């Protein structure tokens, strides 16, 4: 694991984020990873920040609401395709994704949430702010009908990037 600047592979990460990155959350002895196709990297409050969205219905939501941190692992070259597809459709409530997929972990460097091995780029993030979406302020009706037909809105989590790494 080689430490990189938070934005060093930002372009490459955004090139592939639509194909799936892995958001990993740990609460006590409960660990889960889910596939995210969205995310944003920038500087907010003078700090490098990774913003992720998690729906209320997700098992990850239950875990992340009880912790102050998360990691994001990003395969840049199409590896872990089967794994990200699987983690995008199965819930950690029903299966242990790590056992099912034989996912290997890398220990957190600054925090205690692990990364998913065999990705290329990893971020470890401390949550500094979060907010449930307010449906009344979503102006784009295409977004609403495409992503929220059942009203299962997201919570937005702002994670201060404590460390960024190249595997």
Choose between 56 and 95: whose C-beta lies nearer to its own copies: 56
**Nearest residue (CB) to its own copies, 89 versus 94:** 89
The answer to whether residues 104 and 118 touch, using CB atoms and an 8 Å cutoff, is yes
User: 152 Cβ partners below 8 Å, 6+ apart?
Assistant: 55, 56, 57
Q: How far is the CB of 138 from its own copies (least distance, A)?
A: 5
Q: Rule CB under 8 A: is residue 37 a binding residue for its own copies?
A: yes
- Contact pattern from residue 102 through residue 131 relative to its own copies, giving x for each residue in contact according to CB under 8 A and a dash for the rest: -------------------------xxxxx
Tally Cβ neighbours within 10 Å of residue 91: 14
| 163 binds its own copies per the rule CB under 8 A | no
Residue count of the chain: 167
Residue 14 φ/ψ, nearest 5 degrees: -75, -25
Tell me the closest approach of the beta carbon of residue 74 to its own copies, in angstroms: 12
What is the rounded CA–CA span in Å between residue 99 and residue 103? 7
The binding site for its own copies (CB under 8 A) comprises 6-11, 14-15, 17-18, 37-47, 49, 51, 53, 68, 127-131, 133-134, 137-140, 143, 146-147, 160
């Amino acid at each position: 694991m080689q430490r990189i600047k938070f934005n060093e592979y930002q372009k490459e990460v955004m090139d592939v984020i639509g194909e799936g990155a892995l958001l990993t959350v740990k609460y006590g002895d409960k660990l889960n990873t889910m596939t995210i196709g969205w995310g944003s990297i920038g500087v907010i409050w003078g700090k490098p920040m990774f913003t992720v969205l998690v729906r209320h219905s997700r098992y990850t939501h239950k875990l992340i609401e009880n912790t102050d941190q998360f990691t994001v692992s990003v395969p840049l070259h199409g590896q872990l395709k089967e794994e990200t597809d699987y983690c995008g459709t199965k819930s950690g409530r029903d299966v242990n994704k790590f056992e099912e997929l034989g996912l290997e972990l890398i220990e957190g460097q600054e925090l205690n949430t692990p990364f998913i091995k065999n990705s290329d780029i990893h971020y470890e993030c401390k949550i500094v702010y979060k907010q449930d979406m307010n449906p009344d302020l979503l102006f784009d009706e295409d977004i609403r009908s495409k992503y929220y037909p059942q009203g299962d809105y997201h919570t937005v989590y702002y994670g201060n990037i404590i460390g960024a790494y190249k595997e």
